[in-house]
Amino acid sequence: MSDDARPHAPILTVTVNPALDVTTSTERVVPEHKLRCGGTRLDPGGGGVNVSRAIRNLGGITTTLYTAGGPTGQAYRQLLEAEGLPARVIPIAGSTRESFTVDEDSTGQQFRFVLQGPELAEREWQAVLNAVDQDLPEGGYIVASGSLPPGVPDDFYARVARLASRRGAHAIIDASGPSLRAALDEHVHVVAPSRRELAELVDADISDLDTQIHAAQQLIADGRSAYVALTLGGAGAVLVSQDEVLQLPAAPVTVRSTVGAGDAFLAGMVLRLAQGRGGAEAFRTAMACGAATAALPGTALGDAATVARLEEVLAAA
């Protein structure tokens, strides 16, 4: 049995604002002209769903909870069903949003257009919370990830974290702004902010690595999170826990698309933790997963063989 296929604690992912990812390319992006595009790729995207898809690529199993509605939602459901992911769908009245990514062939630049999600009625987002309450396994892991659509309160992820606490489960929250701040007030297991997001959380200037690490340590000392994974772009990442500070460089890959890389990072981290691995190994897998995804075009997610190879590279770093 491979390491990735080892048994692991149950994992539930939650995506309240999924997106049908549309990816294409054109020679050059210019205003006012019709831009003839190349082939189009469609993927079922959104934070938690991408985490589930990345964990599946590594040999793990999750339950995927997400909302869907309208013609776009129907297309989204068909794509996800074709991938064979165990899922529970919460129907909504509005139409699932789309995200549009264009690769500019002449420069290699990528343009990402992220549309606003449909407004959810209270009964709809409450239905998501009810499903979490029903499906969340004792002692398992829940990954609640992505933006909140209009109509969903800022404390939505805090409510998810509260439900996790009642079940003795580990909450991993990937959000930003008021929704992340509210979730941290309930204590979570893992957060993975960018430098900007961390600065907003501590309301301070953290322009150098030492102050960034100190800010992450303060979140842990305050009991707001057990792990803080601080992503530093091309400079790699830092994982801070109560016991240690770990730093890894960016894996040596040629970046082709950053879409889904953060979700893949989180997937590697969660899967290893759910397997009972330590923080250092989980962090290394997370870095490898993010890099393997960034090396692929469009919204494709890294595969297990590439992740394993990059893990070896990072282990020797």
- Provide CB contacts within 8 A for 317, sequence distance 6+: 248, 249
Render pLDDT for 161-218 as a digit per residue (tens, 0 to 9). Answer: 999 999 999 999 999 999 999 999 999 999 998 888 888 888 878 888 999 999 999 9
Whether 1 is in a domain gets the answer no
Partnered with residue 242 across adjacent β-strands are none
* Residue type present at position 113: F
* The pLDDT value given to residue 1: 44
Is residue 119 over pLDDT 90?
A: yes
Residue by residue, DSSP assigns 210-221 as: HHHHHHHHHHHH
Cα 72 to Cα 88, 99, 103: the distances in Å are 17, 11, 23
Is residue 316 over pLDDT 90?
A: no
User: Is 149 within 8 Å of 125 (Cβ atoms)?
Assistant: no
Average pLDDT, the chain: 93
User: Is 68 within 8 Å of 106 (Cβ atoms)?
Assistant: no
CATH code for position 265: 3.40.1190.20
Give the number of other CB atoms < 10 A from CB of residue 9: 17
Whether 5 is in a domain gets the answer no
* Residue type present at position 126: Q
- As a whole number, mean pLDDT of residues 292-315 equals 91
The two three-digit tokens of residue 214, written as one number: 């100190």
Is residue 4 over pLDDT 80?
A: no
The two three-digit tokens of residue 299, written as one number: 């919204």
- As a whole number, mean pLDDT of residues 277-295 equals 95
Is residue 68 over pLDDT 60?
A: yes
Whether 2 is in a domain gets the answer no
* The pLDDT value given to residue 297: 79
**Catalytic machinery residues:** 263
Q: How far apart are the first and last CA of the chain?
A: 26
Residue by residue, DSSP assigns the chain as: --STTS----EEEEESS-EEEEEEEES---TTS-------EEEEESHHHHHHHHHHHTT---EEEEEE-HHHHHHHHHHHHHTT--EEEEE-SSPPEEEEEEEETTT--EEEEEPPPPPPPHHHHHHHHHHHHHHPPTT-EEEEESPPPTTS-TTHHHHHHHHHHHTTPEEEEE--HHHHHHHHTT-EEEE--BHHHHHHHHTS---SHHHHHHHHHHHHHTTSEEEEEEE-GGG-EEEE-SS-EEEEPPPS------TTHHHHHHHHHHHHHHTT--HHHHHHHHHHHHHHHHTSSTT----HHHHHHHHHHHHT-
Whether 3 is in a domain gets the answer no
* pTM as predicted: 0.94
Whether 4 is in a domain gets the answer no
State which residues form the domain around 52: 11-315
CA pair distance 301, 291, nearest whole angstrom = 10
Whether 151 is in a domain gets the answer yes
If one counts the domains in the chain, the total is 1
* The pLDDT value given to residue 2: 54
Banded model confidence at residue 317, pLDDT cuts 50, 70, 90: confident
Is residue 131 over pLDDT 80?
A: yes
pLDDT top residue among 231 and 38: 38
Whether 6 is in a domain gets the answer no
- As a whole number, mean pLDDT of residues 259-281 equals 95
Is residue 3 over pLDDT 80?
A: no
User: Is 255 within 8 Å of 298 (Cβ atoms)?
Assistant: no
Which residue's structure tokens are 């290699």?
Answer: 108
